[in-house]
Structure 1
């Protein structure tokens, strides 16, 4: 027997303003999904929040671009000024 998951009490309130056209479009979409307007807006906003958050945590790129990036990390670029700076003795050794 599967236990019933605990119910989370919804205590936060989010208010927004919409144009009459936006409100009509949202109401129609909610009706088509058999959801209340609040449930529809909350579901859509939560899905978008997840998408935006995921995009900020991960970098997506084509596989060939990733392979090129990884290969470039294995082949260090010669930078003469950096090599000279590294070869100079420090004025004060620690």
Structure 2
């Protein structure tokens, strides 16, 4: 499917010349080169953002408090420990 929406931006004459030169070296029209560069950068930024988990600071306080607190064994854990003791030799 072809492009259907326009996106325009202004650049300095020096940046335009640099982009046009790079596009020429890549063998692409300037608009295609600029579009691909913008799409690649957008993909990179979105990937980085999606790879980051954002949580409130309070979450870390609660997490560290839970990690520092001694664990309370539940019935399943106690039963598993009993089975393990039965399988090992002292």
TM-score (norm 1): 0.56
Query: Which of structures 1 and 2 has the bigger CA Rg?
Result: 2
Structure 1 unaligned regions, length at least 5: 1-7, 60-71, 79-94
- Tell me the C-alpha RMSD between the 2 structures: 1.8
Looking at secondary structure, tell me which structure has more helix per residue. Answer: 2
TM-score (norm 2): 0.59
Partner residue of 2:21? 28
Structure 1 stretches of 4+ with a deviation exceeding 2 A read none
Matches within 5 A, 1:65-80: 76-78=67-69
Structure 2 unaligned regions, length at least 5: 53-62, 70-90
Partner residue of 1:48? 41
